[in-house]
Amino acid sequence: MSRRIQVLPDTVANQIAAGEVVERPASVVKELVENALDAEARSVQVQVEGGGKRRIRVADDGSGMGRADALLCLDRHATSKIREASELESVASFGFRGEALPSIAAVSRLTLETYDGVGASGTRLRATGGRILDVVDHPRQQGTTVEVSRLFFNAPARGKFLKSVSAETRATNEVLVTLAIAHPEVAFGLSSDGRTLLDLPAGEGLRERLARLWGDEAAEGLVELDTEGDGWTLRGFLQRPDVVEPGLRRAQLYVRDRAFRDPRLIRALDRGYRTTVVEGYRPWAVLRFDPPAGSVDVNVHPQKAEVRFRDPGFVERLVEEGVREVLSRASSAARLEGGREASGPEGESGAGPGRSTSDLTPFAAPAASDAGAPARGGAGWGESAPTPPETPRVSENQMALFVSDGGSAADDGDDASGQGDAEPELPSFGRPRLWQVHRMYILAETRDGLLIIDQHSAHERVLFERLMRAYGEGGETTQRLLFPLTIRLTPDEVAQVEEVRGLLHRAGFEVELFGSDTVLVQGVPNPHPYFDAERCFREMIGELTAGTSDLMRSARNQHERIAMTFACKGAIKAGQRLSENEMNELFDALFATELPHHDVHGRPTIVRLSSRELERKFGR
């Protein structure tokens, strides 16, 4: 009886393996450069011709190989990276499959030149279609050069699936950029048909490497991430929310120095940016994970493009919370220099730099010279407003921005010595000077410059966080009205009110249906003395019913949707004059929030102007 199952020859097995490992010229470059980095190279130079279809050459100055190792490296499953199966769980190199070089050699004409610094000369080896043709002595400095020509010459069906020369060259460039970001200490070069595409010197910091690859302006818009948890370390850079734009996303993920893809972590990144960027905008990021031993399997994908985490939920939380923590820092605030201008929220005049907030107490009653009578439905209309809770205080970390050594920023002391760079002693809180400009912006003096605060955006963040916290604590305080507001709505709007009436009540609006097209508002919230309850309610219900704005689409649930809408429609408006007490209360409330530098539309509440920039403008 004839056998149906046969053992394939090595040449056929290698070509099958090559189908998994060698997808295109960029795959060859990736494998060869990773080998060079594992060999501790400090310079890697790549040349391609015809997009890599005609020729690929990768030269490095790594440890190199002796003749015996040069011969063994073309055998399947030959490696210097592991000795036992247990080492697969903690492999610290770029992962191991043991099929890269033999698979590349199986579908190309390959020449390998290498020297390990031992003996009089190095070794040159030539192979075609997986068969070694000759091995000879060859003079070379320590390191390895691999040249691959006529890729897929013996597998023409696969060669037909390659793309144009320009597309293949771009793919190779992307591979090398990804590796170069992980290794700023290594020099990288790439040339295509004699034209230099990359020339990156060794010994750079990551920010300097990103500046060369992404441009100086993009690098200036990055803030540093550094967080730890349960033995994990997460480091990298994130874009400031004010410079995030729609379209192309650059997001690089690494486990140690190994790049990988994971859509779940990209979604966690986006969740971390929630309520700080406009819906649909795509923040750039470089994230490097250093996990404890045994928590990651790096050998689950033929091309080593994916990894498996033992606890993926924890890693997602680490990313989301790490991003959130970075965005709570002053370094994430928009800057007057080097940042794009932000337009105002839909339907509102006056946007500004912003940051999230948590508590806003009602403003003090305005002085007669500051404003007219409170608007209908605000404080003072109907029953008296409840006693406001204690005004939130600025934390010591935040106040460190505003005080100089030995006193508050409001003192007339003159400190040009630069001592303000050190963290000051804080025997008591000082208060910065505040000015209102154009009834729209509040200026605050800091020890190293100036903050420009958009009063509408700042109040928006405060109201949003206040209401979200109130939802978790039983609801917002309601001010009962002596005479209810009678509001006529469309049938769709009445249906919307009926659907969210419970949430509206917890937001401070006591609403009853009155006929088929009318509602009665018996009680309203009291966010500030200028609050127009009827206008706010109408605009809220209109936007909730339409549900088409970026704000509506970005909300995670109905609670957040109502809180965002109320914050937008209920905040003080641009053009409203504020008393000194009101500015101080808004300032304190803003910096008591979780994300004081960003409003709920994803735009800044604060723009920072540094003393250094002022000095540059005045030629000092």
Give pLDDT tens digits for 398-428. Answer: 444 443 333 333 343 333 333 333 333 333 3
What was the pLDDT predicted at 432? Answer: 79
- Taking 70 as the threshold, does the pLDDT of residue 429 lie above it? no
- Mean local confidence (pLDDT), 594-612: 90
- Taking 90 as the threshold, does the pLDDT of residue 98 lie above it? no
User: Is pLDDT larger for residue 81 or for residue 97?
Assistant: 81
Among 312, 332, 352, the domain-final residue is 332
Residues 554, 606: one domain? yes
Q: Mean pLDDT lowest for which of 58-62, 325-329, 430-434, 574-578? A: 430-434
Element (H, E) at 434: strand 434-437
- Taking 80 as the threshold, does the pLDDT of residue 2 lie above it? no
pLDDT tens column, 140-175: 999 999 999 999 998 888 888 899 999 999 999 999
* Whole-angstrom distance, CA of residue 350 vs CA of residue 441: 9
What was the pLDDT predicted at 184? Answer: 96
- Taking 80 as the threshold, does the pLDDT of residue 69 lie above it? yes
- Taking 90 as the threshold, does the pLDDT of residue 26 lie above it? yes
User: Is pLDDT larger for residue 100 or for residue 533?
Assistant: 533
CA distances from 322 to 229, 232, 235, 292, 315 (A): 10, 12, 9, 18, 10
Q: How many domains are contained in the chain?
A: 3
Residues 462, 611: one domain? yes
Assigned domain for 5 exists: no
- Please give the share of the chain, as a percent, with pLDDT higher than 90: 57
The token pair at 489 is 């709505």
Residues 341, 445: one domain? yes
Q: ∠286-243-269 over CA atoms, to 5°?
A: 40
* Whole-angstrom distance, CA of residue 393 vs CA of residue 433: 16
**Residue 87: which CATH number?**
3.30.565.10
Q: Please tell me whether residue 404 adopts helix, strand or coil conformation.
A: strand
Assigned domain for 128 exists: yes
User: How many of the other CB atoms lie within 10 Å of CB of 403?
Assistant: 25
* Whole-angstrom distance, CA of residue 409 vs CA of residue 432: 5
* Whole-angstrom distance, CA of residue 269 vs CA of residue 317: 9
Residue with tokens 């990804």: 178
Assigned domain for 3 exists: no
Q: ∠530-275-601 over CA atoms, to 5°?
A: 55
Buried/exposed code over 601-616 (b: 16+ C-beta within 10 A; e: otherwise): bbbbbbbbbebebeee
What was the pLDDT predicted at 384? Answer: 32
- Mean local confidence (pLDDT), 442-466: 93
pLDDT band at 511 (very low <50, low <70, confident <90, very high): very high
Residues 464, 609: one domain? yes
Assigned domain for 619 exists: yes
- Taking 60 as the threshold, does the pLDDT of residue 548 lie above it? yes
- Taking 90 as the threshold, does the pLDDT of residue 342 lie above it? no
pLDDT band at 504 (very low <50, low <70, confident <90, very high): very high
What was the pLDDT predicted at 423? Answer: 36
Among 156, 184, 200, the domain-final residue is 200
- Containing domain of residue 256, as a range? 206-332
Full strand arrangement of the beta sheet holding 334-335: 334-335, 606-610, 449-454, 441-446, 434-437
What was the pLDDT predicted at 371? Answer: 36
Q: Mean pLDDT lowest for which of 39-48, 379-388, 442-451? A: 379-388
- Please give the share of the chain, as a percent, with pLDDT higher than 70: 76
CA distances from 253 to 159, 235, 305, 474, 489 (A): 30, 10, 10, 41, 50
Pairing state of beta strands 518-524 and 510-513? antiparallel
Residues 376, 510: one domain? yes
| Residue among 252, 41, 272, 15 at smallest CA distance from 146 | 41
Residues 219, 312: one domain? yes
One-letter amino acid at 460 equals: E
45 CB-contact burial (10 Å; exposed 0-12 / middle 13-18 / buried 19+): buried
* Whole-angstrom distance, CA of residue 237 vs CA of residue 279: 21
Assigned domain for 27 exists: yes
Query: Which 8-state DSSP code applies to residue 604?
Result: B
Question: What is the pTM (predicted TM-score) of this model?
Answer: 0.74
Q: What ranges make up the beta strands (E) of 489-557? A: 510-513, 518-524
- Mean local confidence (pLDDT), 344-361: 35
User: Is pLDDT larger for residue 228 or for residue 556?
Assistant: 228
Among 171, 200, 229, the domain-final residue is 200
Assigned domain for 2 exists: no
- State the average pLDDT for the chain: 81
Assigned domain for 242 exists: yes
What was the pLDDT predicted at 301? Answer: 60
Phi, psi at 357, each rounded to 5°: -135, 170
- Mean local confidence (pLDDT), 275-293: 91
Residues 371, 348: one domain? yes
**Residue 234: which CATH number?**
3.30.230.10
pLDDT band at 346 (very low <50, low <70, confident <90, very high): very low
Q: Are 382 and 533 in contact (CB under 8 A)?
A: no
User: Is pLDDT larger for residue 14 or for residue 83?
Assistant: 14
Assigned domain for 383 exists: yes
Residues 346, 302: one domain? no
Residues 61, 196: one domain? yes
Residues 306, 360: one domain? no
Residues 554, 434: one domain? yes
- Taking 70 as the threshold, does the pLDDT of residue 203 lie above it? yes
pLDDT tens column, 376-389: 333 322 333 333 33
Q: Rg of the chain over CA atoms, in angstroms? A: 31
Residues 608, 535: one domain? yes
